[in-house]
Amino acid sequence: MRRLRQLAQRTPPGRERYVDLLRALAITMVVLGHWGVTAVGYDDGRPAGHSALADLRWAWPLTWVAQVMPVFFLVGGYANAASLAARRRRGGSAAGWLVDRSARLVRPTTVLLLVLAAGAGIATLRGADPAQVRTVVWFATIPLWFLVAYVAVVALTPPMYALHRRFGLAVPVALVVLVALGDLGRLLGPAALADGNYLFGWLAVHQLGFAWYDAARATTRRTGADAAEAAEAGATAPDAARAGAAASTTAGAGPRGLFRCGLPLSGRAGALLLGGGLVALVLLTTVGPYPVAMLHIPGERLDNAAPPSLALMAAAATQLGLILLLRRPAGRRLRRSGPWQAVLAVNAVVLTLFLWHLTAAVLLVGLLDALGVLPTPPAGSAAWWAWRVPWLLALAAVLAVLVAVFGPVEARTRRPPATGPAGTGRRRLRAGLAVAGYAGVLVGLLLNSLAPKTAPEPLGLPAPALVAYLAGAGLLRLLRSGRVGRRRPG
């Protein structure tokens, strides 16, 4: 608590605290959503879990809000733009930013994979079926599907932010057009045309985060400058504040239309996005060919989330509209110490919560099965609903233990030590090694995600996936240490 109070007191006054709140709320919804819709049964005498959404058709429209992956990429775009811009203002390079940015993502993920591989190896040595071991680890690593896409957009942030600064909102619009073309491939063929949507869809939302950052920064600069100017001219404090507030309505002046860099942040813009996105979403899922659910439903013709579809882009626009409408009241509340400390607490271990929440489910199901007390009511039945509250409470207790053990790995991630300027050759070497490190991490995560869940894997993870990931993570760790590709001062 003392550390949280100190962090709250050191928060810069211009920080967009609402972004941190959205990240905390999104991770909470993901965790509770995955847990809440899980139905557990037995398959060939072994516990098995599946989503109950297929049996809860009335809940499908709720996924328009519950599918919060767009929120993750939106706030990720904001945070990545803010971090990259700050790095460049200090004279840093894009390669240095990539290396340093990898720490918060890669370290907690490495711990998860090593722990799961070690546990799987022990189970295999004790006589467990390698195919069953793989199934358990596959379920625990489902969150890594998201991480594949997110690491990719982080790696592409420097060039994509440069495109944003040149072409503004035209970039996400073009990406959404590519998503629509990919959907045509899914509907009319070739289906492989839609594979690019895994990148185009999430990049589009990430670009909107860039635009939000640019608009917020312009507002902060202009508000502060105009308020200070009014105060210097002898205006009263309320008049100076009003001058700053008035300036915020004209922040982000420059190119208009699609080529503007700043996202309109007014309530009117929020209402237009909310209404327009909602109308588009209804039309796409009723008149159009898209399923109502924004999450995977077995048997549906299309999957709106894998890869992202045009309907999911409409849902993202709807969510963005709601986010903008709530921005000011939420921002005022976050000026209070209590709510802000709670947001800081969640954000300190946000990736740990996400990475380990399905491992918590595996551990709880395994324990209840071993004790012979695992409830398996049919999805949607009265017994299943009655089991939701104790089920969620038990899972929360298990996850709390996991976060207490592994959370410090994320919470104590520190910035690398300061380094001196490097020559051209060193910069190029460092950039090449950073790209290689990210490529290794991406290949490893992708190979694991694509491997069949029943493949016999003694370590639970495909050996090539583990080798590629650890090689990439190790290279990035070496770069962060400063022993390769950059020169220390002095």
What is the per-residue pLDDT for 251? 44
| Cα 436 to Cα 164: distance, rounded to the nearest angstrom | 25
Average pLDDT estimate for 62-82 = 95
- Euclidean distance between CA atoms 146 and 208, whole angstroms: 18
Least confident range of 6-10, 100-104, 459-463: 6-10
d(CA 178, CA 293): 22
Q: How far apart are CA 440 and CA 320, in angstroms?
A: 33
Q: What is the pLDDT of residues 384-433, one digit of tens each?
A: 999 999 999 999 999 999 999 999 999 877 655 444 455 566 778 888 99
C-alpha to C-alpha distance for 366 and 373, rounded to whole angstroms? 10
Section 374-386 average pLDDT:
93
> Using one digit for the tens of pLDDT, what is the confidence trace for 276-297?
999 999 999 999 999 999 998 8
Q: What is the pLDDT of residue 358?
A: 96
Burial of 163 (0-12, 13-18, 19+ CB in 10 A): middle
SS3 326: helix
Location of structure tokens 């038990």: 394
Give residue 226's pLDDT band: very low, low, confident or very high (50, 70, 90).
very low
What element of type H or E holds 468? helix 463-481
pTM here is 0.88
Which range (50-54, 146-150, 397-401) has the least confidence? 50-54
What is the torsion angle, in degrees rounded to the nearest 10, for the CA atoms of residue 240, residue 241, residue 243 and residue 245?
170
Question: Which range has the top average pLDDT, 206-210, 251-255, 302-306?
Answer: 206-210
Asked if the model's pLDDT at residue 346 lies above 50, the reply is yes
What is the structure's pLDDT at 228?
40
Query: Hey, which residues does 48 pair with through a beta bridge?
Result: 41
- Give the confidence band of 223 by pLDDT, cuts at 50, 70, 90: low
SS3 126: coil
In tens, the pLDDT along 169-207 reads: 999 999 999 999 999 999 998 888 999 999 999 999 999
Written as one string, the DSSP assignment of 414-426 is -PPPP-----HHH
For residue 403, give every residue at least 6 positions away whose Cβ sits within 8 Å of its Cβ, in sequence order, or none: 349, 352, 353, 356
SS (H, E, C) 297-322: CCCCCCCCECCECHHHHHHHHHHHHH
Q: What radius of gyration do the chain's Cα atoms show?
A: 24
pLDDT at residue number 218 = 83
Mean confidence (pLDDT) of the chain? 88
Q: Round to whole Å and give the CA distance between 66 and 165.
A: 31
pLDDT at 20 over 50: yes
Alpha-carbon distance of 413 to 418, in angstroms, equals 15
420-474 tens-digit pLDDT: 455 566 778 888 999 999 999 999 999 999 999 999 999 999 999 999 999 999 9
d(CA 87, CA 91): 7
Range list of β-strands (E), 74-145: none
Helix (H, G, I), strand (E, B) or coil at 260: coil
Phi-psi sector, 329: left (phi>0), alpha (psi -120 to 50), beta:
alpha
Instruction: Give the pLDDT score at 485.
Output: 53
| pLDDT value of position 102 | 92
Whole-number pLDDT of residue 15: 87
The secondary element (H helix, E strand) that includes residue 34 is helix 17-36
Q: What is the pLDDT of residue 227?
A: 41
Indicate if the pLDDT at residue 236 is higher than 50. no
Read off the amino acid at residue 168.
Answer: G
Per-residue pLDDT, 244: 44
Of 215, 220, 255, nearest to 81 (Cα)? 215
